[in-house]
Amino acid sequence: MSAQHEPVPHAAEASAAGDAHVTRPQEYDAILLAGFGGPEGQEDVIPFLRNVTRGRGIPDERLEEVAHHYRHFGGVSPINEQNRRLREALEQELRRRGVRQPVLWGNRNWAPYLEDTVREAADAGHTRLLGLATSAYSSYSSCRQYREDFARALISTGLAGRVQIDKVRQFFDAPGFVEPFVESVGTAVSELRSQGLADDEIRVLFCTHSIPVDDAERSGPRDQDFGPGGAYAAQHQNVAARVMERIHQEHDEQNVPDWEVVYQSRSGPASQPWLEPDVCDRIAELPAEGVRAVVVSPLGFLSDHMEVMWDLDEEAMEAAQEAGLQAVRTATPGVHPAFVSGLADLIEERMAGTEPNRRTAETPLGPWFDVCRPGCCENVRAGFKPAAAGVAP
């Protein structure tokens, strides 16, 4: 780490005490919604993919393969529009509650870039920003990389040390995130039952992004063991179990269908192990297990972006058709009122410095840390990069 990187703030108040949760009220000038970003026309597709894979040695054949998914939809990913809507809905919800801070939006991989948003925020006099990444679980891609994005934005704009960016905790088990899945999966199961299918003929597949096993093992804090697949796999297992438990309670049935967590959108060289099983591989095996209908729930995603529209709506649905299975793909949270309200709760919780025992969490793993613990979601491939909003290093 060079001297110019020193001033990146590491959520100073909390790390000094080593607290997992910030329990003093915090003043913030603005909320910074951090998205992945996506192309908005055919000419954006390759530059966008180069941004995503910058420095990671993803071969051009793979870029072309992925470009084709985007080209199929006119080169437009719906993700930016989803985030514009989420930004608007969240700001409205905060206004309704009397919270006056603006919600600003910036992306990792496409305009509006976080760098520009942070510079504009500082120009407007905002020096304390509360980051909120559009990603619910712990892993390098979904947690630490957003913290690196914040640090890079501060360093490249020369604002490190003058502007501070903290980050809202990972919200995989926040009630507002879980609720839309309870609703959509519950409805899908009820409909299949009403068509005469028995529970043992229905399988619920909770789908999330595959990541390298190496990243998964390092997800979450360094000093805690979450079992195979690390915090990333454990969080998904726990949320999926909770969704099915809630459906069981709310639908007053004897039982619920069997369910599994499966993975999608694997990339990287074949020699590198990624989390398995793949959603399409599992679908192909289900008829031999007596299954006749599959519910595909995108548990790892916030909105219907390209990973959902291509890998699930095209590929997984095709796999189901080939297997002779009936298939339903259920909704992502999007701008579901419970989800938007849940995010506003998390923002208010952080501003108030709410005591841990008064925070809500739907699984025994939470409520997750406000301030990332040492080594949280490390990535040895990417090498060391400065990261905001955590305990150093």
Ligand X SMILES: CC1=C(CCC(=O)O)c2cc3nc(cc4[nH]c(cc5[nH]c(cc1n2)c(C)c5CCC(=O)O)c(CCC(=O)O)c4C)C(CCC(=O)O)=C3C
Within 10 Å of residue 332's Cβ, how many Cβ atoms?
22
Residue from 150, 145, 126 nearest 27 by CA:
126
Q: Of the candidates 49, 114, 331, 365, which one interacts with ligand X according to CB under 6 A?
A: 49
- 307 marked as part of a ligand binding site: yes
Q: Of the candidates 50, 56, 222, 358, which one interacts with ligand X according to CB under 6 A?
A: 56
* 283 is a site residue for Fe ion (CB under 5 A): no
* 11 is a site residue for Fe ion (CB under 5 A): no
377 binds, among ligand X, Fe ion, none (CB under 5 to 8 A by kind): Fe ion
* 307 is a site residue for ligand X (CB under 6 A): yes
User: Closest CB to ligand X among 234 and 325?
Assistant: 234
- Cα dist from 286 to 184, 289, 291, whole Å: 22, 5, 5
For residue 94, the SS3 value is: helix
* 36 is a site residue for ligand X (CB under 6 A): yes
Closest separation in Å from C-beta 58 to ligand X: 5
Instruction: Retrieve residue 27's tokens.
Output: 């003043």
376 binds, among Fe ion, ligand X, none (CB under 5 to 8 A by kind): Fe ion
* 77 is a site residue for ligand X (CB under 6 A): yes
* 144 is a site residue for Fe ion (CB under 5 A): yes
Closest separation in Å from C-beta 143 to Fe ion: 3
Residues 6+ apart with CB under 8 A from 28: 101, 128, 129, 130, 166, 351
Instruction: Retrieve residue 364's tokens.
Output: 């025994």
- Asked if residues 207 and 240 have their Cβ atoms less than 8 Å apart, the reply is no
* 305 is a site residue for ligand X (CB under 6 A): yes
- 21 marked as part of a ligand binding site: no
User: Closest CB to Fe ion among 72 and 222?
Assistant: 222
Closest separation in Å from C-beta 303 to ligand X: 8
Beta bridge mates, 294: 203, 327
Q: What are phi and psi of 290, to 5 degrees?
A: 85, 10
* 67 is a site residue for Fe ion (CB under 5 A): no
Q: H/E element holding 64?
A: helix 60-72
Decide the pairing of beta strands 202-209 and 293-297.
parallel
- 156 marked as part of a ligand binding site: no
- Asked if residues 119 and 112 have their Cβ atoms less than 8 Å apart, the reply is no
- 77 marked as part of a ligand binding site: yes
Task: Annotate 179-212 with b (16+ C-beta within 10 A) or e (fewer).
Answer: bbbbbbbbbbbeebbeeebeeebbbbbbbbbbbb
* 151 is a site residue for Fe ion (CB under 5 A): no
* 216 is a site residue for Fe ion (CB under 5 A): no
- Tell me the residue nearest to ligand X as measured from the CB: 267
* d(C-alpha 131, C-alpha 183), whole Å: 28
Closest separation in Å from C-beta 231 to ligand X: 12
Binding mask 81-120 for ligand X (x = CB under 6 A): ----------------------------------------
Closest separation in Å from C-beta 133 to ligand X: 7
* d(C-alpha 55, C-alpha 36), whole Å: 17
Helix H segments across 161-314? 175-194, 213-217, 230-251, 279-285, 306-309
* d(C-alpha 59, C-alpha 64), whole Å: 9
* 377 is a site residue for Fe ion (CB under 5 A): yes
368 binds, among ligand X, Fe ion, none (CB under 5 to 8 A by kind): none
- Asked if residues 346 and 361 have their Cβ atoms less than 8 Å apart, the reply is no
Binding mask 260-279 for Fe ion (x = CB under 5 A): --------------------
- Asked if residues 343 and 176 have their Cβ atoms less than 8 Å apart, the reply is yes
Q: Determine the interface stretch with ligand X among 16-24, 51-59, 90-98, 354-362 (rule: CB under 6 A).
A: 51-59
Q: Of the candidates 101, 138, 139, 330, which one interacts with ligand X according to CB under 6 A?
A: 139
Catalog residues that contact ligand X under the rule CB under 6 A: 36, 38, 49, 52-53, 56, 58, 62, 66, 77, 79, 135, 139, 141-142, 209, 211, 267-268, 300, 305-307
Catalog residues that contact Fe ion under the rule CB under 5 A: 143-144, 372, 376-377
Annotated binding site for Fe(2+): 209, 307
Annotated binding site for Fe-coproporphyrin III: 77, 146
Annotated binding site: 77, 146, 209, 307
